[in-house]
């Protein structure tokens, strides 16, 4: 179980597979999935996913339609509790998935992206913002445009920092205290990972060539 209070709240309300299935549909209402695609996407057992999909379809939370030889499932945005479910997942266990989905719409190619600060540490209060750092050759305008609806849906402010890999290196070499604190703290990676960050954080002269 997660040590993050927001994640734990979502985990306490729904079982693991149901939580994953629900979050996938309600946070991606424009997308349809066929069963095998959903199983691969969630990396869960076939039987468990099939049971949850059947229950949610019978309850009208998702809709069933046939496209060619495949049966596809989509979130039922007209369901009585769709907005409430989306709100729950946006604010708790689905917040990270919501942010990932928003960032997929970024017009620029993202390099490394992670959440840091109170939310990553699992100590976020109700009014604590989500701190997001993007490292790569993208623009603040592009990131802001793709996440413009996040604050309303997640009921949290989003504080964005966009920094190029060369600027990150410069600030590391100049012993920038804020960058040192961010790099030393807990991070939830949305793109990239610890290994890539270690390479980016190295003071070597040529390590940034060809990365992001």
pLDDT digits (tens, 9 = 90+) for 23-63: 889 878 888 999 999 998 888 899 999 999 999 999 999 99
Residue 146 parent element (H or E): helix 140-146
Spatial distance between the Cα atoms of 48 and 16, rounded to a whole number of angstroms: 10
What was the pLDDT predicted at 106? 85
In this predicted structure, the answer to whether residue 202 has a pLDDT above a threshold of 80 is no
Nearest residue to 172 (alpha-carbon basis) of 140, 138, 208: 208
Q: What mean pLDDT value characterizes the chain?
A: 85
Instruction: Read off the pLDDT of each residue in 62-84 and give the average, rounded to a whole number.
Output: 92
Q: Look up tokens 């504080």; give the residue.
A: 159
Taking domain 5-87, whether its CATH number is 1.10.10.10 is answered by yes
Residue 113 parent element (H or E): strand 112-116
Q: Where in the chain are the domains? A: 5-87, 95-201
- Adjacent-strand bridge partners of 113: 134, 191
Residue 109 gets which letter from DSSP? P
Name the region of 122 (left: φ>0; alpha: ψ -120 to 50; beta: rest). Answer: left
In this predicted structure, the answer to whether residue 69 has a pLDDT above a threshold of 70 is yes
What was the pLDDT predicted at 210? 46
In this predicted structure, the answer to whether residue 209 has a pLDDT above a threshold of 90 is no
What was the pLDDT predicted at 121? 83
Instruction: Read off the pLDDT of each residue in 56-72 and give the average, rounded to a whole number.
Output: 93
Per-position b or e across 146-177, b if 16+ CB within 10 A of its CB = bbeebeebbebebeeebbbbeebbebbeeeee
CA 74, 79, 82, 85 dihedral sign is: negative
Confidence of residue 160 (pLDDT cuts 50, 70, 90): very high
The pTM of this model reads 0.64
- Nearest-5° angle of CA 160, CA 161, CA 167? 165
Fold (topology level) of 95-201: Beta Polymerase; domain 2 (3.30.460)
In this predicted structure, the answer to whether residue 8 has a pLDDT above a threshold of 90 is no
């Amino acid at each position: 179980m997660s040590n993050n209070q927001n994640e734990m709240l979502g985990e306490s309300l729904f079982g693991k597979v149901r939580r994953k299935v629900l979050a996938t549909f309600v946070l991606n209402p424009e997308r349809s999935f066929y069963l095998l695609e959903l199983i691969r996407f969630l990396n869960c057992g076939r039987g468990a996913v099939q049971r949850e999909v059947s229950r949610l379809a019978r309850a009208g939370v998702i809709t069933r339609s046939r496209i060619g030889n495949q049966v596809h499932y989509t979130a039922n945005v007209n369901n009585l509790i769709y907005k409430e479910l989306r709100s729950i997942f946006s604010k708790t266990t689905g917040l990270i998935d919501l942010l990932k989905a928003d960032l997929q719409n970024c017009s620029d190619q993202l390099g490394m992206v992670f959440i840091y600060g109170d939310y990553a540490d699992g100590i976020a209060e109700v009014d604590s913002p989500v701190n997001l750092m993007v490292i790569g050759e993208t623009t603040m305008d592009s990131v802001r445009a793709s996440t413009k609806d996040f604050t309303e849906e997640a009921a949290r402010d989003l504080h964005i920092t966009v920094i190029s890999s060369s600027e990150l290196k410069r600030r590391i070499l100049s012993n920038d205290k804020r960058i040192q604190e961010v790099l030393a703290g807990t991070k939830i990676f949305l793109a990239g990972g610890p290994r890539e960050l270690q390479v980016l954080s190295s003071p070597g002269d040529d390590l940034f060539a060809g990365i992001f």
